[in-house]
Amino acid sequence: MGQQLTMTPQLQQAIRLLQLSTLDLQQEIQEALESNPMLERQEDGEDFDNSDPMADNTDSKPAAEANDNNFQDTSFQEGTASSSENHEEGEWNERIPNELPVDTAWEDIYQTSASSLPSNDDDEWDFTTRTSVGESLQSHLLWQLNLAPMSDTDRLIAVTLVDSINQQGYLEDTLEEICAGFDPELDIELDEVEAVLHRIQQFEPAGVGARNLGECLLLQLRQLPASTPWMAEAQRLVTDYIDLLGSRDYSQLMRRMKLKEDELRQIIELVQSLNPRPGSQIESSEPEYVVPDVIVRKDSDRWLVELNQEAIPRLRVNPQYAGFVRRADTSADNTFMRNQLQEARWFIKSLQSRNETLMKVATQIVEHQRGFLDHGDEAMKPLVLHDIAEAVGMHESTISRVTTQKYMHTPRGIYELKYFFSSHVSTSEGGECSSTAIRAIIKKLVAAENQKKPLSDSKIAGLLEAQGIQVARRTVAKYRESLGIAPSSERKRLM
């Protein structure tokens, strides 16, 4: 005697839908609607009845009698149109003739729109130029290049230079390498390439085409008004002492440039107002959209959890098509409709199972993390997958699937469900503190530090220990790096 779990097609489908994000799920539902005639979407203003989608529609009994297992979630229910509506629709169709008399032709109305579309043999039609979502830095520079008057040779050099500029706006190849790549018959010299580079460096965004950081900052300074205070000193700083500025050796800078501390501070503020990565201003990547699966709100000192109904399409089995299925018929058409009907029922049941599981997990997360919702990151409690799995009676792998690419909308923002899970660190009083709370404390300490003497990792570890949180220095360094906070040597500022 033994027990084993069989991976049936229904179970495989339920697991696959469980791990899909909201956008992927909507695409999956759309594909199911297009491939299965038994499935249909509820339109706005249309009411479903309470009949069970899993009930057999081929039964001759009314749907109300066959309803043995009503769903609690009204998002997935099948219904039938009333006889009065069918009667009115029939009378309406009888009053409408098959062909209505018109005094215009289709081509007369839509001639302008149709003529703007390309023909099948149009070789100049470029689909990507009309459907691209963003502009790359290269296309932005080429657009400016097309407006600049220059010879054919210079234009060839300019196109080659633009291709060598990376997404940050810097020239990756040296001028010698670029010059050596041209055909020897063109007789292009190095000074010609450098002259064309100087023209490209006048393009927008300011600082593009630079070969190093100092040149990038210098190009941006040259495009500022001549009356800008400390302009000459800033140009000298980025040209001759950029390394000292990077190492924050302010005493050496004041000595070499013969400046006072207040004067050097104003010069550094001017340099820091520039963009060290000018190419990043041109956004070429496609934006990523996040649709929250769960909405959490507070009502009368209680946190309420609900599914985002706008992101969940309401589906049902088409009652008209389901009525065509006959029990004793074994023809190919009837077998096809019967299989489509069963797949539609499985799909609706899998969707409902997904929503129920997501609701259970989200409710338990909110129950564990009430402190975060009330007070913020510093009140985040330690939480692992095993805790939620034990609370809802599911396996940890299922909880992992539910919390991946699923998002919760809270008054503090939109967070992935995995954000609420974090490891713990022991406290001196025998309690536990989550890693998320420790990160929030580190961020708060760094924000309030003296910028002339920033806190080192050892000092931060000591401050945490004073609060009863026992964290090693290397752990502080790991949390600091995960927050994107630079080391203390790089955070030093001249006040």
pLDDT at 98: 52
CA distance 72 to 289: 30
pLDDT at 65: 38
pLDDT classification of 409: cutoffs 50, 70, 90: very high
pLDDT at 361: 92
What is the fold of 424-491?
Answer: Arc Repressor Mutant, subunit A (1.10.10)
- Token digits of residue 199: 């023209």
pLDDT classification of 150: cutoffs 50, 70, 90: confident
Sign of CA dihedral 74, 77, 80, 85: positive
- Token digits of residue 211: 């070969």
Within a 13 Å sphere around the CA of 320, how many CA atoms are in the beta-carbon half?
A: 6
State the pairing for strand pair 315-317/302-307: unpaired
pLDDT at 470: 80
Q: What percent of the chain has pLDDT over 90?
A: 5
Amino acid at 297: R
Residue 52 has pLDDT above 60, yes or no: no
pLDDT at 438: 84
Other C-beta atoms lying within 10 Å of the C-beta of residue 238: 22
Q: Most distant CA pair in the chain: distance in Å?
A: 100
Other C-beta atoms lying within 10 Å of the C-beta of residue 329: 13
CB-CB contact of 436 with 377 (8 Å): yes
Residue 454 has pLDDT above 70, yes or no: yes
Q: Which of 487, 482, 481, 475 is nearest to 449 (CA)?
A: 487
Higher pLDDT, 430 or 73: 430
Residue 133 has pLDDT above 60, yes or no: no
State the pairing for strand pair 294-299/407-410: parallel
pTM of the model: 0.59
Q: Which residues, at least 6 apart from 162, have a Cβ–Cβ distance to it below 8 Å?
A: 138, 141, 142, 145, 200
CA angle 161, 163, 168 (to 5 degrees): 95
C-alpha 65, offset from chain centre: 47
CB-CB contact of 425 with 438 (8 Å): yes
pLDDT classification of 66: cutoffs 50, 70, 90: very low
Reduced to 3 states (helix: H, G, I; strand: E, B; else coil), residue 448 is coil
Q: What percent of the chain has pLDDT over 70?
A: 77
CB-CB contact of 288 with 296 (8 Å): no
CA distance 323 to 25: 28
Map tokens 């040597």 to a residue.
489
State the pairing for strand pair 407-410/302-307: unpaired
Q: Which of 206, 212, 204, 141 is nearest to 174 (CA)?
A: 212
Residue 70 has pLDDT above 50, yes or no: no
CA distances from 417 to 14, 365, 380 (A): 20, 8, 13
pLDDT at 316: 85
- Token digits of residue 343: 């797949």
Helix (H) or strand (E) holding 340, with range, is: helix 332-368
CA distance 318 to 345: 11
CB-CB contact of 58 with 326 (8 Å): yes
Mean pLDDT, residues 472-479: 84
The mean of the pLDDT values for the chain is: 77
Map tokens 């409710």 to a residue.
363
Higher pLDDT, 78 or 433: 433
Reduced to 3 states (helix: H, G, I; strand: E, B; else coil), residue 319 is helix
User: Mean pLDDT lowest for which of 111-115, 193-197, 367-371, 460-464?
Assistant: 111-115
Other C-beta atoms lying within 10 Å of the C-beta of residue 262: 9
Query: Which residue intervals of 369-384 are DSSP H helices?
Result: 370-375
Helix axes of 396-403 and 9-18: crossing angle, nearest 10 degrees: 50
What are the boundaries of each domain within the chain?
137-200, 213-281, 296-420, 424-491
Segment 305-359, tens digit of pLDDT: 998 888 777 888 888 888 888 776 778 888 888 888 888 888 888 888 888 999 9
pLDDT at 426: 63
Q: Which of 305, 290, 288, 287 is nearest to 411 (CA)?
A: 305
Cis amide leading into 205 (omega within 30): yes
Mean pLDDT, residues 37-47: 72
CB-CB contact of 412 with 375 (8 Å): no
- Token digits of residue 400: 């992992």
Mean pLDDT, residues 116-140: 56
Q: Which of 114-128, 139-153, 285-299 has the highest mean pLDDT?
A: 139-153
User: DSSP letters along 286-313, please?
Assistant: PPPP---SEEEEEETTEEEEEE-GGGS-
Cis amide leading into 313 (omega within 30): no
Q: Which of 40-54, 340-354, 444-458 has the highest mean pLDDT?
A: 340-354
